[in-house]
Amino acid sequence: MSTPRFIPGFDAPERPRDPALLFAVRGFDLLVTEGEGAALIPTASRLPALAEHAHFLGTLDEQDCYVTALPKDTPPPTGMRFMPARDLYPVVDEVLFGLGGRAIAIAEWDLQHRFCGRCGQPTAITPGERARRCTACRTPFYPRISPAVIVLITRGDSMLLARNARFPGAFFSTLAGFVDVGESLEQTVMREVKEEVGVDIQNLRYFGSQPWPYGRSLMVGFTAEYAGGDIHVDGQEIAEAAWFTVDQLPRIPPPLSIARRLIDAFLSQVKARTPPG
């Protein structure tokens, strides 16, 4: 088995930081160097003042990686710019894209927990784990992860896709929603489907998962089969929904998402059982 390209870590190693990659985060944007058709994460040598107090992320191909959080009004240095992290997908590989997402989530946690939510005193980094701990009452604060479900509903050779009401003219995708307190993942799927499109489902099966930092989520994917009912969208989360076949697809999500993986897997199944010609 080959060595993973990225190996996470917590405590910064005792070696120079200059050669390390430095993920400088401003909201959902990453600081990148300008280049011809390329976006490169800078090394710490370019930003020594920021690197000094940055959080260690781990190593990527044996190169150290750090992250630092920047205020929203921070201007980019000369020759650099802030780039929406999602825009990195076409210009970097999947591992580096995922590392950028990890950096965003850790930067947000670091900014939000500088002070204790219980007593208001400053917090400090806890060695050996990803945590900030109150210096007075010792309450720990960890990066928050919000579990969410995402499900592709199928009926024969067609699938139910919906368009989110908050994004007019955007693509159609699978249904998704956050897990509520006291719910199992399966209960969440059933509730979200009923609330958003009004249909019943059966044969719920686990598909896979994907960390999604644009909301601190862990997306847990499922497939399900249609069991009955007519489509009735809620009009709040979902603007429209319909059944689509392989040869009548709307605009669908980009390949980076688990929603697209769900759709592509089903399309492959349909094509495999469809006779050629």
CA–CA separation, 6 vs 57, rounded Å? 9
Query: What pLDDT is stored for residue 35 in this prediction?
Result: 67
183 is annotated as contributing to ligand binding: no
119 annotated as a binding-site residue: yes
Is 142 annotated in some ligand binding site? yes
Percent of the chain with pLDDT over 70: 94
Residue 51 is predicted with a pLDDT of 93
pLDDT, one tens digit per residue, over 1-53 is: 456 699 999 999 999 999 999 999 999 999 998 766 566 899 999 999 999 98
pLDDT score of 213 more than 80: no
Per-residue pLDDT, averaged over 222-244, amounts to 95
- Mean pLDDT across the stretch 250-267? 93
- Write the pLDDT tens digit of every residue in 124-177: 999 999 999 999 999 999 998 899 999 999 999 999 999 998 876 689 999 999
Q: Is 273 annotated as a binding residue?
A: no
Q: What is the mean pLDDT of the chain?
A: 91
* Highest mean predicted confidence (pLDDT) among 60-74, 85-99, 155-169: 60-74
Query: How far is the C-alpha of 28 from the C-alpha of 245, rounded, in Å?
Result: 35
pLDDT digits (tens, 9 = 90+) for 95-109: 888 898 899 999 999
Is 129 annotated as belonging to a binding site? yes
- Residues listed for the chain: 277
Q: Does residue 155 have a known ligand-binding role?
A: no
Task: For residue 116, say whether it is annotated as part of any ligand binding site.
Answer: yes
Judge whether 196 is annotated as a binding position: yes
Q: Is the pLDDT of residue 90 over 80?
A: no
pLDDT given at position 3: 62
- Beta strands 123-125 and 238-245: pairing type? unpaired
How far apart CA 109 and CA 218 sit, in angstroms, is 15
Which domains are assigned to the chain?
Answer: 6-112 (3.90.79.20), 146-272 (3.90.79.10)
